Structure formats: C-alpha cells, structure tokens
Amino acid sequence: MRLTPALLATVTAVTLILTRAPAMAGPPDEPRVVEDMAEIGKPGGELRMLITRERETRFFNIYGYAHLIGFNKQLELVPDILAGFDVQDGRVFTLHLRKGHKWSDGEPFTAEDFRFYWEDVALNKELSPTGPDIQLVVDGELPKVEILDERTVRYSWSKPNPLFLPALAAANQLFIYRPAHYLKRFHARYADPEALKKLVAETRSRDWAQLFLRKDRLNDFDDPDNPTLQPWMLTTHPPAQRFVAVRNPYFHRVDKTGRQLPYIDRFILDLVDGKLIPIKTGAGETDLQARRLVFKDYTFLKESEQRSGLVTLLWPEARSAHLALYPNLNATDPVWRSLFRDLRFRKALALALDRDALSQFMYAGLAEPSNNTILPESPLWRDEYGAECASYDPETANRLLDELGLAKRNPQGTRLLPDGRPMELVVELSGEDNEQTDVLEIVRDQWREIGFKIMAKPSDRQIMRSRVYAGSALMSMFFGIDNGVPTAILPPKDFAPTSQGDQLQWPKWGQHFETQGTAGEPPDLPEAKRLLELYREWATATADRQAEIWHEMLGIYASQCYTIGLVAKVQQPVAARASLRNLPEQAIFNWEPHGQFGIYGLDTFFYAR
C-alpha cells in the first residue's frame, strides 16, 4: 500500500490519540449539554478550510469557541468550560470548574492551572515584563486570586471590574489558565536546572524565559505538544502546508443524548495563496469557507455550486463599517500630523466621499453608508451618531480645505500643503485581497475632485501595522470596528484610545494605555483625552451611568471623524458543503463577539449521510 499524505495524516492522528489518551477518555463527570442545536448529529468525517498564513492556526481556537465563559447565540454570557460562576457586586468573581474535566492529553484540569498562570506567568517579570493583562487591572489594582479548592478559583478587586467577563468571552479570549503539568518543565521555578539549561541550548533559545514563551502557545494553537481544552487538538508541527486537528477525547460538551462532541473527527486547515481561495472554493477544495471571500465572489460561487458540491449563503456583517480609512494622528511627518489632528481636515475628507455610489459599484447597492460608528441594530443607536461625517457634501469639503490654507493647487489640480508639497500620500493596505484595492480606486477618484491625491500600497498585514505603529504610514485602510451592535454592559474600548493593534488612527496613544504608560504617548487632543476619561469611568460606573457614558463617547467619537468609515452591512459569502448540517442558513458574520463561525457551535456541525 502506498502511504499517501492523507493516509499518513490519518495514521499520525490515530497514533497521537492512542499514545496520548488513556483508556478512560470521555467528557467530564459534569459535561456541558448543548441544548440548542437544530439536529442531533452523527459522528465522523472531516472539515476542511483554507487559510493563507501559518499563524491562522489560531482559528482552531476561534472556531472551537471553548471559553471559560462565553456568549450564547442570544449574546448572553453563560458558563462553558466552567460549570458555573458567581458575581458579587461586580467585583468578586468565583469560578467553578467541572468535576472530572481533563486536558486533551488526559491530565486533570484543576485550579492549579489557574494558580500557575497567575503566580508563575502573569506575575513573573521575566515572562510578563509589563505585568498582567490590562483587563485584570482596576485603577492600578491587581486582583486578589484565591484557590479555594481543587475546582474553585476566585478573582476579586476592591472596585467593580466590568472588563473581566467580556475579556474571557471575547473571540480572542483572555486565557487566565495554563496547562501547568506541561509548562512546568520549561519554568525555572520548577524544572531541574541542568535539564532546563540543556533544553535552552537544544532549542537555541536566549534563556529559559524565551524557551517558556515559545512553549506557551494556547492562543496561537501551533504546537501539538501543548494540551488544549478546545474541541480539536493539533497534530501537525509547523512549518506545514496542511494543519490537521483531531477530536479532543476529553472535550467537555455533549449533545442532548449524551454523545460527546465534536461530531466531526478531523478539522483541517490548508495553507494556500489568498488570491486562489475563491477559485479553490469554486472547485470544491474546501468544506466551509468565508475568510478571503468577498461579495463580488458570490455570483461565481453560485454558478459553481453544481460542480463544487457547495452551497453559498449570504450573511450580513455587524461591523461598524466594512472598511474604513485611518489617518494616523501619530504620524511622524509634522505637516501631515498637524492636518490629521484638525477636525476640519478629517471632516473634509469624510464629506468628499459618495458612499452611495461606492455601494452601487462594489456591493450592488446592498451596503449602507457608514461612518464607522455603531449600527441601528444596537440598543445604543441614535440617528445623530450615524449622520455625523457620513453625508456627501463636496462643496463643504472644498470650503473646509480652503479655510485650512490649502487653496493653492499645482497644474495637475492637486492642492499644496503649507510647506509647498503636493497634497498627496500613500494609503497602506493589508494586501489580503483585491477588494480593498478596488474600493480605494473609487475613493481615489472621489478625493481627486477636491484636490487630494492618494495612491495604494498593499503589503503584508504585519508590515503595514508596523509602519503605522512607527508613524511612517500616514494613512491606512482596514476593517471597521468589529462589534457594531454593542450594549451598555460591554466595554466601549473601541471608542477610546485603548489599543495599538486595533486602532490604527492613534497607535501610540493606544500603546500608552496598553502598557500602562511605559511606552507610546498619552493623548494630547482634548476630545481624545475625554474619551479615555469616560472609558476609565465606565469601568467602575453603575449600570445607568454606563449607558450615559456610552452615549457621551459615541457622540464625541462620531462628531470627531477620527476614522473615515465607508459602508456597512456588506453581505459575506459563506460557502459550505451541501451535506453540512447545523450551520444556520441565516446568521450574522462577525468577529467580535461572534468569532465568525464560533458562536454557532462548529463542534455540533455534522454531515448528513
């Protein structure tokens, strides 16, 4: 028999299960019973998806959607990995673990995994030089972490911490536990010094801390040796073109009949060129695909259904804007930085865009103009939030630019900056698909009418972000705010300078917040300062006051045009194997908090046979 790559992967997966899993595999004594699946499924089969980078193995985490506490389909917070949790005064959180729960290698999952993370990772200066995650810090106060017994952990602060539960439930969840039994062998406090020194040398690590961090991969999900609590466990070491994950024999969820989930045996991510994903999807080389598919692919995918064996659904997004433009308020160029910090300039750029024309050309008129604020489906919506900086008014745009002293133009019609340079810049894109380039061509033509010339520069996402962080990228295009339908109990972090990575309009201000002032720069515009003050107040406010804070922040954010939203409610193509069951026909496709497919229970999907 010829050992094909597929057969080899199967043999490897079976071998790993047999060697890792003792005979008593199965869910915890107190499993989570999934009640809301459309159909009781049948086990077996494999699910293939296409990815474009090795680091996208993290989607095993995102789509597995196993959280201590997670969102259900009604966006309510419910226990998942935990058997339950108690909250007292919004500041004391008692977490109860499931009896008999085990890691994917069969070792018990206990309170020791929480103690190890807190004492030996989060508080270790060599592993966490900036200290614990900012969501665990309330007005500079770290939590009191108590191990009450083998299955009970308590986090408490002297003031309320409304960030804690949403952080645990986020798509990119906050992991406050680690597989202690696995990682202790790489930790200086526990490992034999000579054995650890040998491991450092063998792995060419700088020191034990670098070795430990290379092994601490829960979020990255790229190390088969690292145990997991997700529905599937990885069997493939990078680098690779195909990453295979197999059923976790100790996964904690079961269906109503008591059958352990996930139904599907193998979850496979195939690494391909992003430009080929629509073609490969049309050829049936995937079983479930949404990433790297855009609305313009829909017609081709529908026409390909008979030969591909897939059906193509359209799910609306819930981003605040499908795409937005981000002027860099922290740009190193002093002339551009001064312009970007002037509301008149940002508003002029926003008013010069005909979003209805963009929707007609790119999205068959189905998308709606948006300024990258919340959507009408949010209970916090007010019409004035959506109206700010979103209308098409080129006359006012030209007047504002003239007021700024930019009335002079060169022979090509491009306005001149105060230092005599043409008012032209490069807009940096992540380069992941042609959609952003096509959209920017329309923006370029519309901005040319007011004397502003732009050019596109696609590049790798990390390269683009690094240039934005450094201030050398003057303007970038990226997706809008992930969650366009928030409620008042969710943190308004997206509307204040709180993140370097997610907020490309003020990366240094976000970095300053994330690092608790050890890096970056504090905001120096009055409105941005006020947003940060309000965000800090929200974290300790009563429920009624939290709603008031949200509204004040939304009003400031929308009126200041910090980002230039384009359109929202773009329809996302979702191509799925025709026989795949429990995938909803109608759903919202969103990153936060839905985790794209995660919230819909990928572990409950199965094939009709």
DSSP letters for 367-383: SEE--SS--TTSTT--H
pLDDT at position 127: 97
Burial 85-121 (b: 16+ CB within 10 A, else e): beeeebbbbbbbbbebbbbbbebebbbbbbbbbbebb
DSSP codes, 87-98: EETTTEEEEEEP
DSSP codes, 167-236: HHHSSS-------HHHHGGGSTTTS-HHHHHHHHHHTT-SSHHHHHHHH--TTT---TTS---SSEEE--
CATH number of 324-487+562-568: 3.10.105.10
pLDDT at position 539: 84
405 class by beta-carbon count within 10 Å (0-12 exposed, 13-18 middle, 19+ buried): exposed
Does the domain at 67-218 match CATH 3.90.76.10? Answer given as: yes
Q: Which two tokens stand for residue 209?
A: 């801390």
Q: How far apart are CA 1 and CA 8, in angstroms?
A: 12
CA 139 vs. chain centroid, Å, equals: 26
Q: Residues with Cβ < 8 Å from 608, sequence gap 6 or more?
A: 42, 579, 581
Q: What separation in angstroms does the CA of 61 have from each of 58, 119, 197, 564, 597?
A: 5, 24, 32, 32, 11
Question: First vs last Cα of the chain: how many Å apart?
Answer: 28
Name residue 499's amino acid: S
pLDDT at position 11: 41
Q: Which two tokens stand for residue 176?
A: 């406050």
Q: What separation in angstroms does the CA of 561 have from each of 363, 370, 385?
A: 24, 11, 11
> In the 8-state DSSP scheme, what is residue 283?
T
Residues 230/64, Cβ–Cβ less than 8 Å:
yes
- Report CA Rg, the chain: 25
Q: How far apart are CA 535 and CA 550, in angstroms?
A: 9
Q: How far apart are CA 604 and CA 42, in angstroms?
A: 9
Q: Which two tokens stand for residue 174?
A: 């906050």
Domain 1-64+230-317+571-609: which topology?
D-Maltodextrin-Binding Protein; domain 2 (3.40.190)
User: Residue 553: which region, alpha, beta or left (left: phi > 0; alpha: psi -120 to 50)?
Assistant: alpha
H/E element, 325 = strand 324-327
Q: How far apart are CA 18 and CA 93, in angstroms?
A: 38
pLDDT at position 489: 87
Question: In 479-586, which ranges are E strands?
Answer: 564-565, 567-568, 571-577, 580-581
Cα angle at 355 between 354 and 361, to 5 degrees?
100
Are domains 1-64+230-317+571-609 and 67-218 of this chain identical in fold?
Answer: no
pLDDT at position 446: 98
Domain ranges of the chain: 1-64+230-317+571-609, 67-218, 324-487+562-568
pLDDT at position 430: 86
Cα angle at 162 between 159 and 164, to 5 degrees?
100
Residues 27/254, Cβ–Cβ less than 8 Å:
yes
Q: What separation in angstroms does the CA of 84 have from each of 28, 348, 521?
A: 14, 51, 41
Q: How far apart are CA 526 and CA 406, in angstroms?
A: 25
List of the chain residues with pLDDT < 70 = 1-23
This prediction has a pTM of: 0.86
pLDDT at position 295: 94
DSSP codes, 16-38: HHHHH--TT-S--SSPEE----S
